[in-house]
Amino acid sequence: KLDTGAAARSTEKLKAQEPFDVLVVGGGPAGAAAAIYAARKGIRTGIVTERFGGQVLDTAAIENFISVRHTEGPRLASALEEHVKEYDVEIMNLQRAEKLVRKGKEIEVELASGATLKSKSVILATGARWRQLGIPSEQDYRNKGVTYCPHCDGPLFKGKRVAVIGGGNSGVEAAIDLAHIV
């Protein structure tokens, strides 16, 4: 038996939220840190995010996070969420923020679900995303030769021939960084 009213009940619950002092849009490491610091000051804090952990969830191995020699993305995301939950932070996961509107002294954050959250201030910690080429087999070779972070993944290709696909400052910077490794 399917619960066809679950989404509507979730939206109504969100609509009933009292205004926040700080609402963080984004649930990656930056959003988690922002929420923790705000909550430690004793102010009403919320996080609205499409998926808690953000891009970290898609990262197989992390070897460049200060004080942590090696971890996996999902493990780090889980640790971030547990840390945030140690504080009085309302986490609204699986919610896509679509629009910010100033209404007097408050900011309204309109969600894809139809709900609207209100806050005195909003911190945008929307993170990053990998830009994809959309070519055949790109997804098949993701993390098997096709990677998106030269700083993170460069050491995996030490001594090998690589290609940087991209332009502008980021592409040139990636090529320069990789030239010392590959």
Model confidence pLDDT, tens digit, residues 98-150:
999 999 999 999 999 999 999 999 999 998 777 888 889 988 988 888 888 88
Res. 15: pLDDT tops 90? no
Choose, from 21, 58, 152, 177, the residue flagged as catalytic: 152
CA-nearest of 149, 157, 137 to 60 is: 149
Query: Average of pLDDT values for 61-65?
Result: 80
Phi and psi torsions of 59, nearest 5°: -100, 120
CA-nearest of 175, 174, 156, 165 to 138 is: 165
Helix (H) or strand (E) holding 41: none
List Cβ neighbours of 118 (8 Å cut-off, separation of 6 or more).
17, 19, 20, 103, 106, 107, 108, 109
The answer to whether 3 is a known catalytic residue is no
As a dihedral over the C-alpha atoms of residue 52, residue 54, residue 59, residue 61, rounded to 10 degrees, the angle is -60
The mean predicted confidence, pLDDT, of the chain is 91
CA–CA dist 154, 132 (Å, integer): 18
Look up the pTM and report it: 0.80
Q: How far does CA 83 lie from the centroid of its chain?
A: 16
The CA-atom distances, in angstroms, between 62 and each of 35, 76, 148 are 23, 9, 13
More confident residue, 39 or 7: 39
Choose, from 58, 88, 140, 153, the residue flagged as catalytic: 153
